[in-house]
Chains A and B, each alone.
Chain A
Amino acid sequence: MSTSTITTQKVTFKVFRFNADEDYLPYYENYEMEVTSEEVVLDILNRIKWDHDGSFSYRRSCRHGICGTCAIKVNGKSTLACKESMNGLVALFGNELTLEPLSIKRAIKDMIIDKGDFWEKHEAVTPYLVTDVNEAPTHENLVSPAEANTLDEADLCIQCGACHYACPVVAINEDFFGPAAFAAAYRFEADVRDEDGTDRISAMNESAQGVWDCVKCFECQEACPKEINPIEKIGKLHNMIFQKDVAVSNVATRHAVGFHHSIKRFGVLDEGGLVLYSEMAGIVKHIPVAARMFVKGKIVPPWGITKSDNMDEIKKLVASSTTAKF
């Protein structure tokens, strides 16, 4: 128990209300409350239900930040309701807080959403160890601490969905696995006991669903209440695609590798050359905009590019420090 003084302050909560069975459109209801510095968001949800409106609906279970049930959004920030302190939120956003479900378009009743898409994506990445289990083992199947560390805490995910519904790609591309499923894929892909071969990692390499469609916005890292850092795992999956030799030559892989070529030759990026190398024949679709950019002085041909000074250093470092193959 904290020994610091408990303070109270007045907070106005603008709360998303919707019942898919009855309402045509959602609406917001305001609740003004005295909030103490000891409270977390879940306390507020409870007080709304217990003191103001018994029909108010939300999911909750463990109250210990481990079941992943109570995630909602406060002022757009994904929040595990039982973990996020009211003091922290007031410091961040002031005394007017908007409580919404993780996904408004998937809302069923108030804070409760249909999380079906989340579980579907989770299931699609084979989120378990694929291995022949000896039913009569003669010794323990030990994993060394160093090997366990390679999971990089991806195994701590509580599947709350905070990152999934913070991801802008999930919101517009229904094929995209999303950050939580990627973190789960990494967790098993990095496990030394896994014998899945290349099936799982190959699925990560497919366009539309796989890692190449990640926009690198870092919303998932910001959202994760368990500090799993999904985008870091997405980066590692990118690397594994090359390390496990499942990378096929397509616009996405060539785009990543193209930086290597350009830096080796110019130090800086040859922007036009990168697009050409990535797209190959697909370059045609860029011609109308490229022509307008050229007229406006926005395209520098390869012979006009100012190379980095001390190119010999860059060439030497690219030669000695390259660890990947394509």
Chain B
Amino acid sequence: MGKLRYALFTGCTAKQSTPEQYMSTYAVAEKLGIELVELTEASCCGASHLQDYDDFLSLVLNARNIAYAEKHELTMVTICNTCQLNTAMTKHRLDNNADLKKRVNEKLEEVGLEYKGTSLITHFLYAIIDDIGLDKVKEMVVTPLSQFNIAPFYGCHNIRPSELQNETHKTPENPYNPTSLDDLIIACGGATVDYEEKNKCCGFHVELQAPKTAAILTGNAIAGAMDGNADWMVTPCPLCHLKLDTQTGHASHAIGREVKLPVLHMQQMLGLALGCDAAELGMKHHLTKVDFV
């Protein structure tokens, strides 16, 4: 097998509010022998909000991002659930609607680009599971996380809508009982915590307009993990991470109970198991202290 190469769509968060996610993505890629070609031309995906204002513009911008991955003839890998959903949804809509694809391409033509539909789009979590395989990951683990109970938090936009999500990766995922992140925890040597909120919403997308709703959902998620006796949580989504890591004050207030747990990005957990050190995984950037490394 040749070296795995992907076109990396970092999304905006990894370059701003979750620098640790950017760092740990590269640290883990190096350990796994993955080459990442960063799509520095990419714009914001609209984060599921631009489309509320202007759906067509959102399609055009996402199609442009995908067109760059196609130019490299690579699968696009995302590291944010919402980037994954918006980009994969764009691909799905364009690939299934010739008229829409034509209208989008008329716009892209103005800047010398074309959306063809030739690149796959998958989240880094599923790229690792599908293309490297968890058996291989397990072999590569040098520091098993055997002393930890780890609560997986999946994030909506990696598991729903399942019909779309299951088009983007080979490992089928049941949105009512997802297993990919649990399987990764086990491959890293950890014990998984089963709790009701693991596949539920963190509230990120209404943090500004409905702060109480957002805080209750975040609080419920952390409380569920705590009640499941978790030492820490892990998530593949930087937006969920922002909620779970930085909003514990509001969340505690909203549900009337002190909730707080260290929360790692999926890449940070994998990095720890593969022997990366805390500094290269950016642990110092967390608001809720990661006190076990």
Contact = CB atoms under 8 A, between A and B. Distances in A.
Contacts of B50: 256, 259-260, 263
Contact of A322 (B48, B57, B174, B286): B57
A238 interface: yes
B213 A323 contact: no
B52 interface: yes
Interface residues of B, number: 62
B210 A207 contact: yes
Contact of B209 (A251, A271, A313): A251
A269 B44 contact: yes
A269 B64 CA distance: 16
A269 B12 contact: yes
A86 B137 CA distance: 36
Interface stretch (A2-10, A39-47, A217-225): A217-225
Given A259-B50, A267-B43, A298 B18 contact: yes
B17 A298 contact: yes
Contact of B285 (A217, A218, A257, A297): A297
Interface stretch (A120-128, A134-142, A166-174): A166-174
Contact of A256 (B53, B176, B210): B53
Interface string B241-262: 0000011011000000000000
A216 B113 contact: no
Given A239-B52, A269-B47, A317-B111, A219 B213 contact: no
A271 B12 contact: yes
Instruction: Say which size band chain A's interface belongs to.
Output: 35 or more
A65 B12 CA distance: 44
Interface in B22-80: 40-44, 46-57, 60-61, 64
A252 interface: yes
Given A260-B57, A321-B60, A296 B284 contact: yes
Contact of B55 (A235, A263, A314): A235
Contacts of B61: 263, 314, 317-318, 321
A215 B205 contact: yes
B293 interface: no
B54 A214 contact: no
B177 A298 contact: no
B203 A317 contact: no
B67 to A, nearest CB: 10
Interface in B179-207: 200-201, 203, 205-206
Contacts of A293: 17, 246, 287
Nearest to A176: B213
A242 B52 CA distance: 9
A305 B12 CA distance: 10
A92 B54 contact: no
B204 to A, nearest CB: 8
B281 to A, nearest CB: 14
A209 to B, nearest CB: 11
Contacts of B200: 168, 217
B17 A308 contact: no
Nearest to B286: A296
Interface string B152-165: 00001100111000
B91 to A, nearest CB: 16
Contacts of B56: 321, 323
A299 interface: yes
B206 A213 contact: yes
Interface in A223-269: 235, 238-239, 242, 250-252, 255-260, 262-263, 267-269
A317 B176 contact: no
B111 A313 contact: yes
Contacts of A215: 201, 203, 205-206, 210, 213-214, 217
12 contacts: A169-B210, A213-B206, A213-B209, A216-B48, A218-B156, A258-B49, A262-B44, A268-B43, A271-B13, A308-B41, A310-B41, A313-B64
